[in-house]
A and B are shown apart, each in its own frame.
Chain A
Amino acid sequence: MAVDQDWSSVYPTAAAFKPASVPLPIRMGYPVKRGVPPPKEGNLELIKIPNFLHLTPPAIKKHCAALKDFCTEWPSALDSDEKCEQHFPIEIETVDYVSSGTSIRNPKARVVTLRVKLSNLNLDDHAKKKLIKLVGERYCQETDVLTITTDRCPLRRQNYDYSMHLLTVLYHESWKTEKWESEKSEEDMEEYIWENSCSQKNALDTLLRIKASENASSVTKEELLASEVVKNYRNSVIALKNEGETESNISQYKESVKKLLNIQA
């Protein structure tokens, strides 16, 4: 083979290894004792394995150049991920399966996954909480992504329609307020609210009793609530409950309790 021959015309498509066509001195196989791996001529090991001699970088360049005529340009306005997300907040994921076999069918191909960030949806506080309650596990707190996976229908397009239908229904339902939603109790709350909680009650009771035992001046609840120590306590408790136990949270709680109970230590 001449040195300047075009390799992509020797191996245009996937083909078996031809030792006469490939000018490389390749050896492959288990060497006999005190020998070397067998040479490429008549080497079944080289023929058996799949090779990528048809996908050298220049060949791939040629493929891309040929395919370019059939491609449309990426829109220049979408040059960053944030812009893509801003203009196209919903992501649809479908999978096509390639296999070597007689049948082209694959039942897994009908699955459609829809992903959307709730921040892109127009939801107020109540709607967001309601929607999160409705979807349950499909919502991820950390990434604020709602994932809907549909595979109940036999065809992909039906599943896609169904997923869009679900998103629409969720959105509209979360904006509605039903009568029975007013019966939401403390257990149903998503986050800790200090107002009307036992912590508030206990703190106020304690403070009142302290005040009563010390002197006769009666202080109203509202004044107590407005006082700074109580506020501090409140914040620390909320932080603890909502965010979990971190060092800063606990130390903050300690300080607020000390101030509340007027303990110097």
Chain B
Amino acid sequence: MVGEVQGCKLQCAAGFTCLRLSALLCFSDAVGKDQAGKVGAVQPGEEKLAWRPHSNLPVSEGGLQRSWRETLCQKNGKQELFSTSSVLSKDKDKSAASKDSTHEGVAKKQEDGAETPKQKLLDIIGNMKVEVTYRKKLQQLKASESKKQAMKQLEGLDSEGSVPQGIAEDTQRGKPLNPELVKAASAVASSLPHNKKQTVSELLAQLRRHEETTDKQKEGGTINIRNVISEMTVKKQSPAQRGARISGRISLQLDEDGQRIRRERSSAQPGDSRRSLKVGKRLNIFTKASTEPEHALKTVSSPTIWDLEFAKEVAAVTAQPPRNGFEEMIQWTKEGILWEYPIDNEVGMEDDAEFHEHIFLEKHLEGFPKEGPIRHFMELVICGLSKNPYLSVKQKVEHIEWFQNYFEEKKELLQEI
């Protein structure tokens, strides 16, 4: 059941964050359980997933492990820890594989680590498509054993290349590298019309997956747990999630169990989606790389809707019925049933105009003739308007303009007369 849940999660194709969530689930369920059995359950599904189109990212357990290590490596100031853990794990993993000097591998890694963002994007796109070439290459590679062994060693090198995440920090993996394998991979790639690096990375990605699954089966559960634990950094919980949880607890006292579960779920879901969207290192493709540090969860500065809802809920729960008439009056005033004292008859009546705009309206008479009956009439109109407290300034001006238009129209008639 756990495996199925995990498989479902993986099939979402949401990216590394999704994987991390699934990893968390695995961790929570796997403590005390047989890790191998779980892995075995995933294995066939993983194989299927690997061949699915649009599965741009490694979605296996091995992929999980690798992604954990990478995300760990991304966090500043924690490289040493991860490198040791990864080195330990890798050492155990690779005991069977033949390994050569590590220095070359490190050098090569650093070279590849300096890929441009553009390259990273291309890698993503490359991973997304073309299962055909993938398969062909794989068959070719599997034919030669030496190449296969070397490629196992190269896995660590190009794992970052295929994985579109931060590589620069991951230079301390210490994985041994076989130059022959590199040459072989590059030869294969150059033989094909595709982008050389892309093909190389694809090959190595696939091989790495295989490698890691074998490693996992060999190792058992301890290493995975260690990885998971090391990955388990103290994450900042958004106030909304915290509030949702507290509200869940509060409601437990008052509501039935079903309601509480529903609330927790509903509170968990927005948190999940938020995490999955915003987590992940920026590729800096469209914008220049910003210097702001990455956070797992960015806390919102202003109170979110959930905070407000939580506050309202708390107030409603803690509100006591009024003990006396004064408290009742306070409550009514808050609700708007009772007017606010001292009474101001002009509450809410806004009129930004000053008194001179209401009373001194002569300036609007500029369009009219200076003398004559029209002027006289308009002066009377203005006098009346200035004494009218029920019209706004705008309405008064409109009145005058109406007269102006009217007299304009009648101008011809008047001139005849």
Contacts and interface: CB of A to CB of B under 8 A. Distances in A.
Interface of A: 9, 12-15, 54, 96-98, 104-107, 109-110, 151-156, 158-159, 161-162, 165
Nearest to B359: A152
A12 B324 contact: yes
Interface of B: 324-326, 328-329, 339, 342-347, 349, 351, 353-356, 358-359, 386-390, 392
Nearest to B350: A155
A152 B325 contact: no
List 7 tightest A-B contacts by C-beta distance, closest first: A13-B325, A109-B345, A162-B355, A158-B355, A154-B389, A106-B345, A12-B325
Contact of B346 (A98, A110, A151): A110
Contacts of A109: 345-346
Contacts of B351: 154-155, 158
A152 B385 CA distance: 9
8 contacts: A12-B325, A13-B324, A96-B343, A104-B343, A104-B344, A152-B386, A155-B351, A158-B354
A149 to B, nearest CB: 13
Contacts of A105: 345-346, 349
B358 A12 contact: no
B389 A104 contact: no
A14 B332 CA distance: 15
Given A158-B353, A159-B355, A104 B347 contact: yes
B344 to A, nearest CB: 7
Contacts, number: 68
Contact of B389 (A12, A54, A152): A152
A154 B349 contact: yes
A98 B325 contact: no
B40 to A, nearest CB: 74
A211 to B, nearest CB: 60
B124 to A, nearest CB: 64
A173 B345 CA distance: 35
A114 B50 CA distance: 89
Given A13-B324, A13-B329, A161-B354, A97 B345 contact: yes
Contact of B358 (A13, A15, A153): A153
Contacts of A159: 355
A45 B389 CA distance: 45
B358 A96 contact: no
Nearest to A160: B355
Given A13-B329, A109-B346, A158-B351, A152 B358 contact: yes
A153 B389 contact: yes
Contact of A12 (B326, B347, B359, B386): B326
A153 B347 CA distance: 16
Nearest to A108: B345
Contacts of B389: 107, 110, 151-154
A153 B344 contact: no
Contact of A15 (B325, B344, B349, B354): B325
B399 to A, nearest CB: 15
A153 B359 contact: yes
Contacts of B345: 96-97, 104-106, 109
Q: Interface centre among A109, A153, A165, by most B CB within 10 Å?
A: A153
Contacts of B347: 104
B298 to A, nearest CB: 44
Contacts of B328: 13
Contact of A154 (B326, B343, B344, B390): B390
A106 B346 CA distance: 8
B325 to A, nearest CB: 3
Contacts of A156: 346
Contacts of A96: 342-345
A82 to B, nearest CB: 29
Nearest to A109: B345
